[in-house]
Amino acid sequence: MTRSFRRGPALIGMLAAAAVLAAGCTTTVGGSPAPDPAPAPTEGPGSDPVAWADRVCQAVLSFAVPATSAPDFSRTADLSAVQRTISSYLDTVISGAQQGRSQLAEVGRAPDASGDEAAKRAQDALSALEEDFGGVKATVERMNPDDPSSFMSALAEVESTVSEVSPPNPFGDLASAPRLYRAAERSPQCQRLSALADAPR
């Protein structure tokens, strides 16, 4: 008996099973194929990673945009005006950090668990930055415009503290999650954040 004949009974059995199945499926269904009407999840596994990355970067931008928009007060000798300008700038930055933390709390679960960890790190970083800038603002409020020497010394301290601030880095935090990292590269808000980080100071 050849190999082809030995396969014969199995092949016949498969054909018979197919015939039985076909006989049970003779009803014609009208209409045309359509996608599943159930909406895609907005968070967690199966959700759009680009949309999730966009929300994370938008939250960080709430802090990064005002933080990188420090006023130029070098052209005025009015120390009281300088103090008011810096205080107003710090208020905006602190408010941005608070807003960013609130937004991160609402981004929802990431499509990949490592994204949740990155969002948590960004939220912790914004909390620390809010505290740091709050301390800088307290220093500014103690500055005495009537004592130029001490005022300039305190101002130098403030500038040094602000220049050493490191904002959250979602790109770096997502490096261990290639799918989310690629999604962040396609996210409009993450592209804005990347351009802001690369801009000359």
Check if the beta carbon of residue 57 is closer than 8 Å to that of residue 192: yes
The yes-or-no verdict on residue 49 having pLDDT over 60 is yes
The C-alpha atoms of residue 33 and residue 144 are separated, in whole angstroms, by 75
Check if the beta carbon of residue 73 is closer than 8 Å to that of residue 85: yes
The yes-or-no verdict on residue 10 having pLDDT over 60 is no
End-to-end CA distance of the chain: 84
Sign of the CA dihedral with 47 first, then 49, 50, and 51 last: positive
Which two three-digit tokens encode residue 22?
Answer: 């076909």
Confidence of residue 86 (pLDDT cuts 50, 70, 90): very high
Sign of the CA dihedral with 22 first, then 27, 28, and 31 last: negative
Q: What is the mean pLDDT of residues 49-58?
A: 94
pLDDT score at 183: 93
The yes-or-no verdict on residue 17 having pLDDT over 60 is no
Q: What pTM was estimated for this model as a whole?
A: 0.76
The yes-or-no verdict on residue 27 having pLDDT over 50 is no
The C-alpha atoms of residue 103 and residue 181 are separated, in whole angstroms, by 20
pLDDT score at 165: 79
pLDDT score at 200: 64
pLDDT score at 5: 34
Q: Residue 126: CB partners within 8 Å, gap ≥ 6?
A: 59, 60, 63, 97, 100, 101, 104, 168
Q: Which residue has the higher pLDDT, 70 or 167?
A: 70
pLDDT score at 38: 61
User: CA 133 → CA 88, 114, 158, 165, 193, distances in Å?
Assistant: 12, 29, 9, 9, 20
* pLDDT tens track for 124-162: 999 999 999 999 999 999 999 999 999 999 999 888 888
Task: Give the 3-state secondary structure of residue 90.
Answer: helix
Confidence of residue 80 (pLDDT cuts 50, 70, 90): very high
The C-alpha atoms of residue 48 and residue 62 are separated, in whole angstroms, by 22
Confidence of residue 71 (pLDDT cuts 50, 70, 90): confident
Q: Which residue has the higher pLDDT, 32 or 13?
A: 32
The yes-or-no verdict on residue 26 having pLDDT over 80 is no
The C-alpha atoms of residue 121 and residue 198 are separated, in whole angstroms, by 21
pLDDT score at 34: 53
**Closest of 72, 92, 67, 82 to residue 152, by C-alpha:** 82
